[in-house]
Structure 1
Amino acid sequence: MLLSWAMLFVQAQVATDLLVDESKSKTSETSNTSETEVSFAVAAERRLGTKGKVVVSGLFLLLMMTTLVSQYAEAGALFSTLTGWPQPCVRALLALLLAILTWNSPTTRTAAINGCLTLGFVVASLVVFGTGLPLAQWHRLARTDWHSCARSLPSILQLFVYLEVTPSIASILQLKRRRIKRAIFVGSALLLLLESTWSALGLALVPFHGGLREDPVALLLGQNGPVSSAVLALGCFAVLTTILGTNLALRSFCGDAKPRAALASYSFCVLTPALAPKGAFFAAIDFAGAYPVTLLWGCALPLMALAQQNKSRRQLVLLLSLFFVSLAMVISFALQDLGLLSRAARWA
């Protein structure tokens, strides 16, 4: 988790510099008095050309839609437990309401709503810890299996990724470079703290019977009592904040097109993932972390930054290191998946 957080944080610094520099460049070209927000698609076209824009746009949309697939797959189970409604109906209604809210509301209002939901997530986390700590079996944390790290990395990268909302953060903070980087550091550090402490508590609460083969959240929800209720609230807040943040990123991305085309593209991207089956959560986050996250933020982003002239030697080393480490990770993930497919084919 610490390594994933550090890697994504460095990539976020690169993304911030890229967006701020491109906004200033676009502002000077159009002779505007105020700086203009730039999306990743526009930045890719200016730095890598039309083909680069197509590749970056495709990876971005793939990442956003797989993120929504995972969230709606989990949201169906959580909100169905909360309301008693069938999962397909819950997913469809939730997707429609959140899509309308994000499209019709200013970025600042959606961000404020997301902030309230985040506060609810923090309160639910405190309740989970308050009710779960007396029941935790901390000796369970003594179990270690470092061979699982490589297989877990894609999912952890996806759970920690937040770079898609960088344009929205830049817009809210009026493209002030230092403020954006400070906000990213504080927000991502809180995310690291919450994820690591929640994981420790989850391991201490979930029984171990020779290997974990089920969703630990589902196991905790099935135990009833105060821990189950707090985990349900925590899951609902987590899903809502992720969906709203992803919808914001898609609205910013689609906003470069003409109004009707932008609305059609946005609607397709945010509503289609609600058709995801209920068991798609782990498969979606694993795929997203292994390929779209690593290729987009680890490979394409450094290439976009390298396209700008007048880079110092330190910047060149950093960007090239990010690129080659990310490329090696993608190759490693691909080899693992090919190995699994090969074994499955032999078994069949």
Structure 2
Amino acid sequence: MKILVTGAAGFIGHALIRALMARGDRVIGIDNLNAYYDPALKHARLADLADVPSGSFDFLQLDFADYPALVAALDGHDFASIVHLGAQAGVRYSIDNPHAYVQSNLVGHLNVLELARSRRVDHCVYASSSSVYGNSAASPFSVDTRVDHPVSLYAATKKADELMSETYAHLYRVPMTGLRFFTVYGPWGRPDMALWKFTKAILQGDPIDVYNHGDMRRDFTYIDDIIAGVIAVIDHPPSDDDARKPGGSIAPHAVYNIGNNQPEPLGRMIDVVEASCGKPAVRNLLPMQPGDVYETYADISAIQADLGYAPTTSIDTGIPRFVDWYRAYHSV
């Protein structure tokens, strides 16, 4: 299979491309290598892909929010499916930088939908987020729950992406699947995520900022479990008669949660990081940040029933793997 992957140098994109190449797929990767976090990490991820023995990988550095550039760069490249992982990430960053989210997550998403329509791809899989649930009182979060009250602009753009995708699937009958990711972590992760920040600070002997005085829960999902779910989704595009669709949909459009189905208290997560680092944390207890939510908890019954998705990695296994990778990457 030949697959186009956006966000190719990102955390999930890098892991997905490795897995696709390992099974013999050919991948075209797109990324603009922006400076939201250190581009050196993105370059290192791309370099890591050179070690995969099978499959093939062509990388194009461009901004998918620039539609003429996107079309021109892909002229002459054929692909059967699209996995659109590229986006401006981060809840807190969206408070101060709203235009970046509109450009990447709205304009950019529309450009990818137009590409899917014009190329008549077999399947367009795209990244949504658990952030769309906001402070939902219904726990665990089900894909059947209405998500009309986002508490950050980032979440609002992801909800808008789902709506645009529903429209394109309905109008043009292009199979679409949205994936609501829940707190993905693991080797090659993002420096703006709590696990990276806590590991860095603890190893350096610096204090860590613990919001809402540690009274939060997150459905931490290990990268390998995420990738297993994404690949299962890629291989099973929705059809008009599938049952798992947003409420009342008559389009070939599915939405799934991909999480661990096991929310962990933030304090326990920090305990595991401390044990993995071999050092205690100095905890700086702070109030809740704007845009944050108290809990994320994935109801994964839909993707379990449809595709057999079954995460297997607890934080007691996954966090030490991340810390070991972090030490090796930084020569700590």
Same fold (TM over 0.5): no
With normalisation by structure 2, the TM-score equals: 0.28
More helix by share: 1
With the length of structure 1 as denominator, give the TM-score of the two structures: 0.27
Structure (1 or 2) with the greater strand fraction: 2
